[in-house]
Structure 1
Amino acid sequence: MSRIKAAFTRKSTSTTSSKAFSTWFVPRGSMFSNRSESALVTSEIIFAAVSRLANSVSSLPIKVNKSYAPVESSFSHLLTYQPNNNMTTTAFISLLETHRNIYGNAYAMLEYDNRAQIKALNVLDPNRVEPVIDSETKEVYYQVMGDSGTTYVHNTSIIHLKHVGHSGIKGVSPIRVLQGTLDFDAGVREFSVVQMDGAKASFILKMDTNVSDEKKMEMLQSFGQFYRDNGGVLIEEAGTKIERLDSKFIDSKVFDVDKVTRARVASVFTLPLYMIGEGAGQVSTSNMEQLYLDYVQGTLTPIVTQYESEFNRKLLTEKERKSGIYFKFNLNALLRADMQARGAFYQQGIRSGWFKPNEVRAWEDLPPVEGGDQLFLSKDLFPIDQVAAQRIGGADAPTAPTLSEGGENN
């Protein structure tokens, strides 16, 4: 415990301590982690999947709420403005999500001030962190390995985001699951390149007479230069015959391997296929809303729920949680439909007393207006409190619709 306390209370002016602390963040790859990092760089399918998830999660607004209303507190700025001195909230969450999808695990350590208040969240190198279980208390600690030594940190001081895993305390890397698929895909690509190299235009140049080796080289160079300069057009001269060698290009079925790879990557990362480039032409405005709904419900909701659970448990005290304070990602922005559908939805909500006008304006990034913080009912948009207090009467009272002869509402 004294080592943990010393790690959080050391002064930044200490060169030795600062150096020892900073090594926890320096990437130090193992053989497997290097393969994971390499897959991100060499596989455009993996890059598309990881960047899609990282960008989606990091772009979601996150707020500290109490009873459904945003609140300001001493800790809210950590995730809404600046988690540490080097990162914005967007960069912080994007890096965590990238680590989670490459290594299977992402870690951020809580840094405290002298009053034991959280002052920063620092992302750790996943290769330097290992969850362990205390043999006596059975509680989870995190072994943080630096070049100057190892420190054990209690689980309440480490934000840990992970994929599923058999132990429950450490996730499995999706890239490890896909390793066979990626190796096969790389092998097919290499084979295709070799075949394409062998499919270049080849010719047999026949001459009626024997010529010296020097003359042969001169004729070959002249032949090649003429072929390049004239876009592949050749002229047979007297005493010379040109015969093209037939070359077979790669089998068209080889390209099906790319589709299989995309399907398996999408399955492991629980992404819709069109989000990693497969079947993108089949997406239209008519089904875009449903596709995004599936993406939000099937992919993003479980991920942000994990983030919220970690933040609520480890950034809030028990007293704060009991008072109704919690972190919340706003997924509504991703569920917005086209302008016409949003307008109809907003109008229905305002006229039926669901939404306040200023709430709708906030969702559309518009400033509030005077009188927009109350609920309304239609006929025609009387304040709801006046209806409840029966302050509307006589000619202004809402009346039931009447039916015309054709059966339509008047």
Structure 2
Amino acid sequence: MFLSKIFNRTKAPTSFSSYVSPISTSGEVVTVENSTNLGIVYACINVKASAIAKLPLQVFVKTKDGRTRDHAHRISYLLETRPNPHMSPYMFKFVMMVHRETYGAAFIRMKFNRKGLVESLHLMYPSSVSIIEDIEGKVFYVETMNDNTQQVYSEDEVIFIPAFTTDGYNIKSPITVARETIGIIRSQEKFLGSYYQNGTLARGVIKVPTTLNKEAKEKVREEFQKMNAGMQNASKVAVLDEGFDYQNITIPLGDSEFIASQNFSLRQICRIYGIPPHMVGDLERSTFNNIEQMSMDFVLNTLQPICVSIEEEMDYKIFNKQEQQKGYYVKFNLTSALRADSKSRAEYMQLMIRNGLLTTNEGRKLEDLEPIKDGDRLLISQDLTHLDNLENLQSSKGGE
């Protein structure tokens, strides 16, 4: 193969099947495609992807006084208006996160203009991308197209956002980690489907008073299924001939161990994805107080690390050297995600404005309110002063 003569080894094929056998110990085949058809997996990925997608990703530049937001920068247009002709910023970030949470990594190809500046951002489908190291130790991204041709991109052309990696390149998909749990849930759902398909007729044994040959046994089983199985017979009374006896040998669905097993499997998926159970509709152990705390933990311990990893990768690759030297960087705005209830926000805003940390208009902006006249001046309570002023005041009183 042509590429094998150029490159030394493959560091990270992103196909799910390349990591581990897709067959779980429960016998279920687990793939990215059928895993996202599972309600709890779909819900966890949707919650996480939506949470990142709704956060504004903005461009800033460092100044002597701190920083200022650059609305006119070309990267600001890509991140806040249109990353490419086919996607809105929300959709771009959402699909990026879906790739990260299913295949274990997101790959963003940067398209450059003639001046060498980034003019658009395009998502690469993870299963078609391999990370390759050449004989000189340089890293390249090889994308297999629909016509089986291959495009090779340098490390500077692709923004790489892994979910979990052991060395910076070899990635592990959350689906891989959750494979056994997903297999169990799929088996449980098939069991339930079969249960209701049979009209809640459980698996059992029919005892007959005489010995039957193979054909007679099949006939009895067939007739019994025909008269008692299926939803159309769910509420009907079964009538057995004299001498026949039916014994149920299936664990009832109301059994506490079966229900506990289902709940454990669902919560295990939530743990793997870092999603508080109440965010996917599991309110069994939730209270008003701990829901607020868990929601805050979700932002700080699940979303913020993802934001930092995206910011750092973009800062290094999306700006050229001159822009990096000038202090350009991107930053997710987590203010909306960290908002507490209205009472807590009001108390926080009062403290920030009364202590001169925010102007009235800055506080109104955080609440999406229009600015007011004279609202750009800092306010401070009259009972506050510098410590040295207080010492001078005490000294002057002592000298009187």
TM-score interval (norm. to shorter): 0.7 to 0.9
Q: Deviations over 1:195-239 (max 9, x none)?
A: 45274499x9xxxxxxxxxxxxxxx9xx99xxx89x7699xxxxx
Match of 1:394 in 2: none
Match of 1:144 in 2: 143
Return the offset for 1:303: 0.6
Q: Distance in 2 between matches of 1:277 and 1:248?
A: 33
Match of 2:210 in 1: none
Q: How many residues align?
A: 330
Alignment of 1:370-381 (within 5 A): 370-379=373-382
Structure 2: runs of 5 or more not aligned: 1-13, 23-29, 207-223, 387-392, 395-400
User: Aligned letter for 2:327?
Assistant: G
Structure-2 change in CA distance of 1:128 and 1:232 (3 Å) = closer
Match of 2:125 in 1: 125
Q: Distance in 1 between matches of 2:285 and 2:320?
A: 48
Structure-2 change in CA distance of 1:375 and 1:288 (3 Å) = farther
Alignment of 1:71-90 (within 5 A): 71-72=70-71, 73-90=73-90
Match of 1:15 in 2: none
Match of 1:304 in 2: 307
Structure-2 change in CA distance of 1:285 and 1:181 (3 Å) = closer
Q: Distance in 2 between matches of 1:112 and 1:323?
A: 20
1:144 alignment partner, SS class: strand
Q: Distance in 1 between matches of 2:249 and 2:324?
A: 68
Match of 2:349 in 1: 346
Structure 1 position 183 matched with structure 2 position 183: yes
1:141 alignment partner, SS class: strand
User: Aligned letter for 2:365?
Assistant: A
2:336 alignment partner, SS class: helix
Structure 1 position 255 matched with structure 2 position 259: yes
- Which gives a bigger RCO, structure 1 or 2 (Cα 8 Å, sep 6+)? 2
Q: Distance in 2 between matches of 1:83 and 1:99?
A: 17
Structure 1 position 173 matched with structure 2 position 173: yes
Select the residue among 34, 42, 49 that pairs with 2:37: 42
TM (norm. structure 1) is: 0.71
Q: Distance in 1 between matches of 2:87 and 2:341?
A: 33
Q: Distance in 2 between matches of 1:39 and 1:57?
A: 24
CA contact (8 A) 1:159 1:311 kept: yes
User: Aligned letter for 2:277?
Assistant: L
CA RMSD of aligned residues (A): 3.5
Q: Higher mean Cα deviation, 174-183 or 186-195?
A: 186-195
TM (norm. structure 2) is: 0.73
The structure with the largest alpha-carbon Rg is: 1
CA contact (8 A) 2:15 2:126 kept: no
User: Aligned letter for 1:287?
Assistant: N
CA contact (8 A) 2:15 2:103 kept: no
Match of 2:46 in 1: 51
1:191 alignment partner, SS class: helix
1:326 alignment partner, SS class: strand
Match of 1:24 in 2: none
Q: Distance in 2 between matches of 1:178 and 1:126?
A: 19
2:74 alignment partner, SS class: coil
Runs of 4+ in 1 over 6 A off after TM superposition: 243-246
CA contact (8 A) 1:142 1:152 kept: yes
Q: Distance in 1 between matches of 2:311 and 2:16?
A: 30
CA contact (8 A) 1:199 1:247 kept: no
Match of 1:334 in 2: 337
Alignment of 1:153-232 (within 5 A): 153-196=153-196, 197=198, 199-200=200-201
Q: Distance in 1 between matches of 2:314 and 2:16?
A: 29
1:79 alignment partner, SS class: helix
Structure 1 position 277 matched with structure 2 position 281: yes
